[in-house]
Structure 1
Amino acid sequence: MQIPTAAASGRSRLLTSGVALAALSLLLTLHAVPSAADDDTPARGTASMGSGVLAHEGVHGQPAATDRTTQTEGVDVSSHQGEVAWSTLWNSGVKWAYVKATEGTYYRNPYHAQQYNGAYDVGMIRGAYHFATPDTAGGAAQADYFVDRGGAWSKDGRTLPGVLDIEYNPYGDTCYGMTHSQMVGWIRDFLDRYKARTGRNAVIYTSTNWWQQCTGDYSGFASTTPLWIARYASTVGPLPAGWTFHTMWQYTSTGPVVGDHDKFNGALDRVKALAEG
């Protein structure tokens, strides 16, 4: 019988250790914890007007065939649409547009200039909107961020007041972890700062279901704040508490040309009146 030398025993231990490490590595690979890339949560900045409504309240809507009141066709766009063919939209009957400018205090739409100026250049009345993330910064801070990065208003007859897009949280808790009173306070802080900075009351974009769930159906903003309601159906449906009529209606997320399509509750002269203040 050959007695192993010390060197041979060391080589044997190294070989055994190497095999064990290889097996452990394979086991960890087979049972790896999913990385952030495997998470279904979208990246910050990718939210657009109505993205949460679509996810929480049903399928794509159709044009409002049963609503026969005088309305003016509009569109809202974000970075998802890239460079927009505004002349095509204009020729299809779209006369007003809203463009995403900002989100939270961390994101600015890289296509904002092309979209915002392009709508204006073809003759549309246009404005900007801010996607709110109340869990990342205060209302006043987000209003400042918005105004400083494309959300300001000018009295040129062609610029609509800014919009606070407040809806389902695409990145986490539906109500951003806030109580009803906290959410109402956050919205008030945004609206007050926007008014102080621009002289205009911002528009609120929301859905009735979200508003009821996350503000307790608060009615205190209705007397001063125009309402843009999201509902992908053939009628506007019930409105949040306090509002007896809507100013704008996002009725589908599958527009005939590009972007989400909307109807202004009135003829084109009413769109101009809102722009003029």
Structure 2
Amino acid sequence: MPAHRPVSLRPRPLAVLVTALLTALGLALPLTSARAAAAPGRGSASMGMGVAAHDGRSGTPSTGDATPTEGVDVSGHQGNVAWSTLWNSGVRWAYTKATEGTYYTNPYFAQQYNGSYNVGMIRGAYHFATPDTTSGATQANYFVDHGGGWSRDGKTLPGVLDIEWNPYGAACYGKTAGGMVSWISDFLNTYRARTGRDAVIYTATSWWSDCTGDYGGFATRNPLWIARYASTVGTLPAGWSYYTMWQYTSSGPTVGDHDRFNGALHRVQALANG
């Protein structure tokens, strides 16, 4: 006869007993481990990924007084983009994520950056900032060295510093307001020295207020790209009296992130020309 295994008399944890009971009843829940709920991996960030969660989503955007020019922004999440479809829908400018920190380059950058240009769009590149990993100057150099430069061809927009909620940790990357302003200044000054252009700043008003102390010193040189998914842009960050671009939705046609330039196409061309 086979030997009988001794029965353990140690009490089982309540979670184990509950799981066993649910399994026996055919009601087992889907896996919700810490690994499944973990923060996204480095490199997965994209422009505006924290906007809906922190600022909400409401309303249909109004055009305002100016004639807006439709644009899009893309990252590795979109893969190979159907640029001809976007062009035929009226999109005339595009920004592509080039880099993040100093550890990531977009594997689809060439198709996205060159593809938008080849269908006739005015294009540019953006950098997703991670101020907790390396200095602003280091990241600006990495950006320029991996697609974030500028050329005077009339169809290339200045680079963008995407500075927003940290998708991997503390919203302000563990920096004080003064420390954040210094980091941004370091990036912007280095980018200007490398390219001769002032970078565009992409941000959301609530993040800017919380993480820079509503600093207003960049408005005279750096165009503002505001993120807000609502019928209007609302209150702008300190210093800026108007916005240059507005990311108004993350659920637009063909690719999710759609934007409006605050002016007609010739104004987009003027920004490209510097």
Q: Which TM-score band applies after superposition, normalised by the shorter structure?
A: 0.7 to 0.9
Question: What secondary structure is seen at the aligned counterpart in 2 of 1:151?
Answer: coil
**By how many angstroms is 1:69 displaced?**
2.1
Asked if the contact 2:58–2:231 (Cα under 8 Å) also holds between the matched residues in 1, the reply is no
Which of the pair has more CA radius of gyration? 1
**By how many angstroms is 1:60 displaced?**
6.2
TM-score, normalised to structure 1's length? 0.87
Q: Distance in 2 between matches of 1:85 and 1:125?
A: 16
| Alignment partner of 1:275 is 2:272 | yes
Q: Distance in 2 between matches of 1:69 and 1:146?
A: 32
Matches within 5 A, 1:81-96: 81-96=78-93
Question: What secondary structure is seen at the aligned counterpart in 2 of 1:249?
Answer: strand
Q: Which has the higher helix share?
A: 1
Matches within 5 A, 1:71-220: 71-220=68-217
Q: Corresponding residue for 1:9?
A: none
**By how many angstroms is 1:52 displaced?**
1.2
TM-score, normalised to structure 2's length? 0.88
Alpha carbons of structure 1 residues 30 and 137: separation in structure 2 relative to 1, 3 Å: farther
Matches within 5 A, 1:235-274: 235-274=232-271
**By how many angstroms is 1:68 displaced?**
4.0
Q: Distance in 2 between matches of 1:105 and 1:259?
A: 26
**By how many angstroms is 1:30 displaced?**
4.4
**By how many angstroms is 1:257 displaced?**
2.3
Question: What secondary structure is seen at the aligned counterpart in 1 of 2:147?
Answer: helix
Asked if the contact 2:249–2:256 (Cα under 8 Å) also holds between the matched residues in 1, the reply is no
| Alignment partner of 1:59 is 2:81 | no
Give the paired residue count: 258
Question: What secondary structure is seen at the aligned counterpart in 2 of 1:258?
Answer: coil
Q: Distance in 1 between matches of 2:147 and 2:59?
A: 29
Write the deviation string for residues 128-158 of structure 1: whole angstroms up to 9, x where unpaired: 0000010111100010111001101011000
Question: What secondary structure is seen at the aligned counterpart in 1 of 2:258?
Answer: strand
Q: Distance in 2 between matches of 1:115 and 1:40?
A: 29
Q: Distance in 2 between matches of 1:115 and 1:61?
A: 29
Runs of at least 5 residues in structure 2 that lack an aligned partner in the other structure: 18-31
**By how many angstroms is 1:92 displaced?**
0.2
Question: What secondary structure is seen at the aligned counterpart in 2 of 1:38?
Answer: coil
Percent identical across equivalent pairs? Answer: 69
Q: Distance in 2 between matches of 1:36 and 1:141?
A: 33
Aligned amino acid, residue 78 of structure 2: Q
**By how many angstroms is 1:160 displaced?**
0.2
Asked if the contact 1:250–1:260 (Cα under 8 Å) also holds between the matched residues in 2, the reply is yes
Aligned amino acid, residue 65 of structure 1: S
Runs of at least 5 residues in structure 1 that lack an aligned partner in the other structure: 1-11
Q: Distance in 2 between matches of 1:194 and 1:144?
A: 7
**By how many angstroms is 1:61 displaced?**
5.6
**By how many angstroms is 1:252 displaced?**
0.7
Q: Distance in 2 between matches of 1:76 and 1:92?
A: 15
**By how many angstroms is 1:209 displaced?**
0.6
Match for residue 226 of structure 1 among 203, 223, 237: 223
Q: Distance in 2 between matches of 1:194 and 1:43?
A: 27
Q: Distance in 2 between matches of 1:256 and 1:35?
A: 34
Asked if the contact 1:60–1:253 (Cα under 8 Å) also holds between the matched residues in 2, the reply is no
